[in-house]
Amino acid sequence: MRVRDRALLNRRLDGLGTTIFAEMSALAVATGAINLGQGFPDTDGPEAVREAAVRALRDGRGNQYPPGAGVPELRTAITDHQQRFYGLEFDPDTEVLVTAGATEAIAAAMLALLEPGDEVIAFEPFYDSYAACIAMAGGVRVPLTLPAPGFRPDLDALRDAVTPRTRLLLLNSPHNPTGMVLTADELTAIAELAVERDLLVVTDEVYEHLTFDGAAHTPLASLPGMRERTVTISSAGKTFSFTGWKVGWVTGTAELVTAVRTAKQFLTYVASGPFQYAVAEALALPDSYYHAFRDDLQAKRDVLAAGLTEAGFLVHQPQGTYFITTDIAELAPGTDALAFCRALPERCGVVAVPNSVFYDHPTAGRTQVRFAFCKQQDVLREAADRLRKAFSG
């Protein structure tokens, strides 16, 4: 047998290529453009939290393998956080797992909970690692399109999509890239369906603290009947502006957490030792930190939304996350989002991300372009100015 008689890349990964975030960030570096593509802040999180990481490193805490489930200080801080913000009780010894970012948590959850052929329902556009992780686990993704404008889930379509092969719902609220935040009624309907059809739910809540205009995040695990069937995932990256630290976590029943940990221990085993101690301190920051962070982001959203509108983009106002989805159909007739984004840095020195790559649907996201607003206000103004000059003269 000759090794190259068949494709080198496992067929489950066929077509996944390079992530759009890597492609667009590389383009930003190559062209010197303002990067509003990949979602990472241009200012680091609180100084005290950075110092906590330095202290941990200097004191020799976390420089060797931390415990597989995460350091006790962080596990306790996570359970305190779930109790403080949502009234959810978890046992830090058995119901929490620290992961290498939410990314690993998603991967481990899929690998742990799916058998080949199991169906996973997810609303599209979806964060790119969902499709990859479902595929790596041998699952079958069943996308349900969130229709623009509004991007509200079609709950009848969700009900109709459940089959005897459906194993789990993979949810994300606040939702990347649309900024949609599930309402209490939507959460209730989803929870009732999950209970009725006996489904597992994996919820990606990494943007839990990034909600605007009074919209509030409610974890699905807090609804009746959901605690025992929900794997809740979050991460320090967004809430504390340390995306490079890759500290994420899972909460759920001991049974679910044990399952996810079984897969996770063979992916990285552990990660981010000293940063785990720093994130424990971050989670304990007073409510004022969380409020100020949210207010600051909301102001940035408003700056970018106004600038994009002035430049001629149709803006879908987000209620959460740090992304604005726009539509370019009128601005650039006949152009698809991917081509638009590939040309944008040369055209005016701004990088964005095409939502089209987050859809299975062939046309739904064809003219949607996402801009990140987790940047300093003058950077957002400069980007908007460049876009306005390029598109509205």
Q: Which residues of 137-158 are buried (b: 16+ CB within 10 A; e: fewer)?
A: bebebbbbbbebeebebebeeb
Stretch 10-29 residues interacting with ligand GLN (CB under 6 A): 19, 21
Which position has the token pair 């609180």? Answer: 46
Residue 354: name the closest of 48, 122, 42, 128 by CA: 128
167/105 Cα distance (integer angstroms): 17
Q: Which is nearer to ligand GLN, 19 or 188 (CB)?
A: 19
Q: Which is nearer to ligand GLN, 53 or 357 (CB)?
A: 357
Q: Which is nearer to ligand GLN, 127 or 212 (CB)?
A: 127
Stretch 256-285 residues interacting with ligand GLN (CB under 6 A): none
Among 28, 33, 39, 328, binds ligand GLN (CB under 6 A): 39
Among 35, 38, 253, 319, binds ligand GLN (CB under 6 A): 38
Residue 172 found at the interface with ligand GLN (CB under 6 A): no
Least Å from the CB of residue 148 to ligand GLN:
18
Where does 281-335 show beta strands of DSSP type E?
314-316, 323-327
Q: Which is nearer to ligand GLN, 21 or 86 (CB)?
A: 21
Work out the burial of residue 73: count CB atoms within 10 Å of its CB; fewer than 13 is exposed, 13-18 middle, 19 or more buried: buried
Q: Which is nearer to ligand GLN, 191 or 247 (CB)?
A: 247
Residue 86 found at the interface with ligand GLN (CB under 6 A): no
330/313 Cα distance (integer angstroms): 8
87/59 Cα distance (integer angstroms): 34
Instruction: Kindly determine how many residues on this chain lie close enough to bind ligand GLN according to the rule CB under 6 A.
Output: 5
35/29 Cα distance (integer angstroms): 8
Q: Which is nearer to ligand GLN, 73 or 104 (CB)?
A: 104
Residue 176 found at the interface with ligand GLN (CB under 6 A): yes
Interaction site with ligand GLN (CB under 6 A): 19, 21, 38-39, 176
